[in-house]
Amino acid sequence: MTRPNIKVTDKAASTKILIGGFVMLAIAMGIARFSYTSILPFMQSQTNLSITEAGYLAASNNLGYLVAAFCAGIITFGERRSTHLRIQVGLCILTTGLMGVVSSFSWWMILRFIAGMSSGFIFVLASSLVLDALLADNRGKRIGIFYGGVGFGIALSGLLIPLFSLHSWRGGWIGLLVISIILVAFIWSYIQEPKKQHISLKGSDKESSIKESKLFPYLLVVYGLEGLGYIVSATFLVSYVKQVPNMDFFSDYSWIIVGVAAVPSTIFWSWCMGKMGYVKPLIIALILQAIGVILPVLVPNIVGVGLGSILFGGTFMGISMLAITAARALKPTGGSQAIAWMTGFFGIGQILGPIGAGFVMDATNSFSISLALAASVLVIAVIVMIVGSVMSKGKNPEKNAVQF
């Protein structure tokens, strides 16, 4: 699918699209996907959900995310992105709330799969729509605000879930349903296609995009490894902290810290990209995330868990923003497809992560080994990114990186 460049002519319209995208990511990712991390301990204690079953539920959600990502790369949405987004947002909110209504593990698996699919479609379509609007309107510095929606959703759900789940785990899911409905009501009219005019690509731009695509395969691998490495901590951090001696009281706060750190982090990494391109910030962010994943294991106290949560929250959405924006820059004539492929590889890692971690935890009765393995995967991602940068240097891989 070939997508022409788009020029947005109304900054007020692109601001509305940005706000709508921010809230959609908060609902689809911060609430519908990552709230599971905060609710999981309540479900484990009140429903006898095992670690392996918890891993399967996370994997089911990630499988749906993967399916949606690849489907989004195949389907031609054209001018119907906003319509599909509205449908997926509604489905995402509904399946989140139904988790608190049913009690069957089989139904939970189905609901998490559907919620994952809707989240995947929302992430790809909203990213495509918002990036088209902002970059074409020369407002690239605001991309970080858009991806900050995930952190906002995580922080919000992390604060509210302990209150909603005070009497039952069901309250967590149903409370999130109500909050999501309130949020989406404010931005429903903002889910719209940007006003645009089509401009054909110049010959030099086409040639440049072909050269730039040499780094794209490395980005795919790195983003897949990121999905595998980060998801273990993203799924089991709160459960891990709960079982650390004298740290149970801090478990909910650890996830809130992740969300709070994630909100401004994307703005910071946007600034870094403007100064250094996307390769160096990606490498730095991956290194910091690896430290953040392993630190709670090496230093199992408030300092270790708190700093680890800050490093993890301050990098995981920054890495996504850097990788997705870079992919769009490397494939300017196929932005939606590039985002879909990136999200698909990310989704593969997210499926393997929780299942593998669940088996390791059941076999060892410890979270530590799984978190150490996750950190190792992130180190491998750093190596791949460095190799990709060196191998692509002849093609000047950062020449046309998005500048802010």
pLDDT of res. 138? 72
Which DSSP symbol is given to 246? T
**Is residue 369 a part of any domain in this protein?**
yes
- Report the C-alpha gap between 70 and 291 in whole angstroms: 31
pLDDT of res. 202? 41
pLDDT of res. 379? 96
Residue 21 in tokens: 């995208």
CATH of the domain at 151: 1.20.1250.20
Written as one letter, the residue type at 351 is I
Written as one letter, the residue type at 141 is K
The boundaries of the domain holding residue 175 are 5-393
- Residue 68 CB contacts under 8 Å (≥ 6 apart), including other chains: 116, 117, 118, 119, 120, 121, 124
**Is residue 403 a part of any domain in this protein?**
no
**Is residue 401 a part of any domain in this protein?**
no
Residue 78 in tokens: 């054209």
pLDDT of res. 203? 39
**Is residue 370 a part of any domain in this protein?**
yes
| Total-model pTM | 0.77
**Is residue 362 a part of any domain in this protein?**
yes
**Is residue 302 a part of any domain in this protein?**
yes
**Is residue 43 a part of any domain in this protein?**
yes
pLDDT of res. 211? 44
**Is residue 383 a part of any domain in this protein?**
yes
Q: Are 191 and 1 in contact (CB under 8 A)?
A: no
Across the chain, which has 404 residues, the per-10-residue mean pLDDT values are: 46 84 93 88 88 87 86 72 90 95 94 94 86 75 83 89 90 95 92 60 39 77 92 83 86 86 88 87 96 93 93 91 82 67 83 82 81 93 92 54 37
Q: Are 279 and 385 in contact (CB under 8 A)?
A: yes
Domain count, the chain: 1
